Copies of this chain bind each other. A is one copy, B any other.
Amino acid sequence: MKFTKATNYALHTMMYIALVPAGKVIGVKPLADMLQVSPTYLSKILTRLVKAGIIVSTPGVHGGYKLSKSGKEVSFLDVIHAVEGTASLFQCEFEHGEASPLCLIQQEMNEAEKKMEDHLQSKKISDFSEKLGDSMKDLVLREAK
């Protein structure tokens, strides 16, 4: 796990997508406008979320993105893993082959990372999207089609 700007874009975008009413979708452009971000780059990030099964995309003229059926209870960790992959934050590439096959430090870092992941796994996107201000919710409702 690691954090880049893409992570930030993805999490914020997910907040908005979670507010899209059932049966409707929202396009990249309004999402990019709300976040003040390049639409082309954001679309690349959304593609990763699609492949992970978190959201679905409908092509065509009135196309856009919406939550997938199983995406209702998506956690922070799910989004992060979809965008950044599941590689370990810390990676020891030394050769301590003699006695200990795997690095003691690596083991400890993995445990620490797991503490963080457990916390992010317990936090759901939908819980937070509800806390958004009414102005944000109205904005999404206006743009959803």
Contact = CB atoms under 8 A, between A and B. Distances in A.
Contacts of A102: none
Interface of A: 3, 7-8, 11-12, 15, 35-36, 76, 89-95, 98-100, 104-105, 108-109, 111-113, 115-120, 123, 128, 131, 133, 135
Nearest to A92: B8
Nearest to A131: B104
Contacts of A99: 133, 135
B8 A100 contact: no
A132 to B, nearest CB: 8
Contacts of A12: 92, 94, 105
A104 to B, nearest CB: 6
A94 to B, nearest CB: 7
Contacts of A116: 112-113, 115-116
A95 B8 CA distance: 13
Contact of A3 (B36, B90, B118, B120): B90
A114 B99 CA distance: 33
B98 A135 contact: yes
B109 A3 contact: yes
